[in-house]
Amino acid sequence: MIVYDISVTIEKTMGVYKNIEEKRPVIKFERKIPKDSINESSMYMNLHTGTHIDAPYHVNNMGATIDAIDLNKLITKCRVIDLTKIVDGITKEDLIDKNILPGEFLLLKTRNSFTEEFQPDFVYVEKSGAEYLAEKGIIGVAIDSYGIERAQPEHETHKILFNKGITIIEGVRLKEIEVGEYLMCALPLKIKGVDGAPARVVLIKDFI
Ligand SMILES: [Zn+2]
């Protein structure tokens, strides 16, 4: 069994959405050896920083919050698909030859995985791409950018996917991951009443 960690390392210097300073984590040592008898730290962080899972509540006040997300959709078989040639938005045309089947959880590997810093022109899922995924009946989608949409004031991509009950993971790292099928384990922190949560996301190959 091989375990691939596809999570971003949370640290002060990490890439964050639009490089907004407030989205950077603040990690503070409350106590430190040898001054204290133990090392103990705290952290303040935007819940959409780093690898995280979005809850429907992110774009809809009536939507489910992260503590209510069905974990059956997050410990699941999944498939990594290659979209590394795409430079802008992922459209229906980009997805049409990928043999997408109902019930799949897809991980979209794009050129985003090859840079650590935030790219203002990151690859995202364009409206027609989201509609196609929704129409195909997938159960979830993960992308290697900190946002699955870009420059969409009405947040169509998020809404189209959430309206079909599709789970969204943002900020996975897929540079080292070959296309193909894996078992995925993506567990968001159980925080009451919020719009998303950081997750450690792993892909497992040759699971017995
Ligand atoms: Zn998010």
Is 48 catalytic? The answer is no
Q: Give the per-residue pLDDT at 204.
A: 97
176 CA from centroid of ligand 1 (Å): 23
Q: Give the per-residue pLDDT at 120.
A: 86
DSSP secondary structure code for residue 193 in this structure: T
Q: Give the per-residue pLDDT at 145.
A: 92
| Separation in Å, CA 153 to CA 44, 106, 178 | 27, 25, 34
* Residue from 156, 30, 181 nearest 99 by CA: 181
113 CA from centroid of ligand 1 (Å): 17
Residue 6 to residue 87: CA distance in whole angstroms = 22
Residues with pLDDT less than 70, the chain: 208
Q: Give the per-residue pLDDT at 207.
A: 72
Q: Give the per-residue pLDDT at 117.
A: 82
Residue 55 φ/ψ, nearest 5 degrees: -105, 150
Helix (H) or strand (E) holding 125: strand 124-125
Q: How many CB atoms lie within 10 A of CB 114?
A: 13
Enter the pTM of the model: 0.95
10 CA from centroid of ligand 1 (Å): 15
Ligand 1 (ion): residues with CB under 5 Å are 48, 54, 170, 196
